[in-house]
Amino acid sequence: MKTEKAAGNSIESRKSVMFYIGLSVALALAMMAFEYRTPKDHSLSFEKPANNDWLIEEEVIPITSRKMKVPELPEPEREKENKASLDQQMKIVVEKTKPISSHLKPSELPDIPIDFRYFDEGEDPDIDKDVDISNDIWDEPIPGYLPSFCECAQLESEVEREACNTQYLNSHLRSNLRFPEKEKMAGRQGSVLAVYVINTTGKVENIQIIRSPSEGFSTEAKRVIQQMPCIVPASQHNHNIAVKYSIPINFVLNP
């Protein structure tokens, strides 16, 4: 007699179910194996020390500053020149001044230079330092006495008065003439022709600049002429008279 299995009892029909069951068992075993080999998590505990000893104090580094000594810079050469004595810096040459009549036109004025020269410190140019005041008269009767500085007017002889006037005029120009700073910086030079009147009271008035290369030279020439020392006026026949003078001044920079 031949036996046959029922169709519902065939293992082939349960293959997929058995596969999933086996897969689940294998997964469970794998999880158990990992759980067994992994050590327990022992959490670290941290206790805060008392009195805040655990805090790290920051070290405060003091800030120090060093004062650097600034070296003294040498003074500019121009400042040294300004501090030097006037005699070492400047040489002045006054050749002549002449009284002139009041009717002369500017073009007829005698061009007799007064040289004002600026030299560097230490130089010793060969320049005549004397001042020669001439008593030449232009187309007019000679007055009894020409104007004289007060310190010279009491001298008896004309020669003594002339020498004294020369000394005082020379001293006045050397002490007061200054080369204008603006013109000196620009290297400018030239000649100034000035006329002025010594009136009947001995005062200097009516200063006029007939010829000048710049305003700075004109201003300096007027300033020095206006500051002339006390002067006794000229006289003729026991009467004081006014006399007009011309002074050409050359401002020259030494190369």
The CATH number given to whatever domain includes residue 106 is 3.30.2420.10
Residue 55: inside a domain: no
Range of the domain at 113: 77-253
What's the pLDDT band for 208 if we cut at 50, 70, 90?
very high
Residue 107: inside a domain: yes
What's the pLDDT band for 190 if we cut at 50, 70, 90?
confident
In sequence order, the β-bridge partners of residue 198 are 204, 243
Q: How many domains does the chain have?
A: 1
Q: Does the predicted model carry a pTM greater than 0.85?
A: no
Residue 8: inside a domain: no
What pLDDT, on a 0 to 100 scale, did the predictor assign at position 107?
37
What is the rounded distance in angstroms from the CA atom of residue 42 to the CA atom of residue 44? 6
What is the rounded distance in angstroms from the CA atom of residue 51 to the CA atom of residue 87? 85
**Length of the chain, please?**
255
Q: Rounded to whole angstroms, what are the CA distances from 110 to 12, 35, 136, 246? A: 152, 131, 11, 8
Closest C-alpha to 254, from 155, 144, 121, 151: 121
Residue 245: inside a domain: yes
What pLDDT, on a 0 to 100 scale, did the predictor assign at position 197?
92
What's the pLDDT band for 73 if we cut at 50, 70, 90?
low
Residue 98: inside a domain: yes
To the nearest 10°, report the CA torsion of 107, 109, 110, 113. -90
Residue 70: inside a domain: no
What pLDDT, on a 0 to 100 scale, did the predictor assign at position 9?
64
What pLDDT, on a 0 to 100 scale, did the predictor assign at position 20?
86
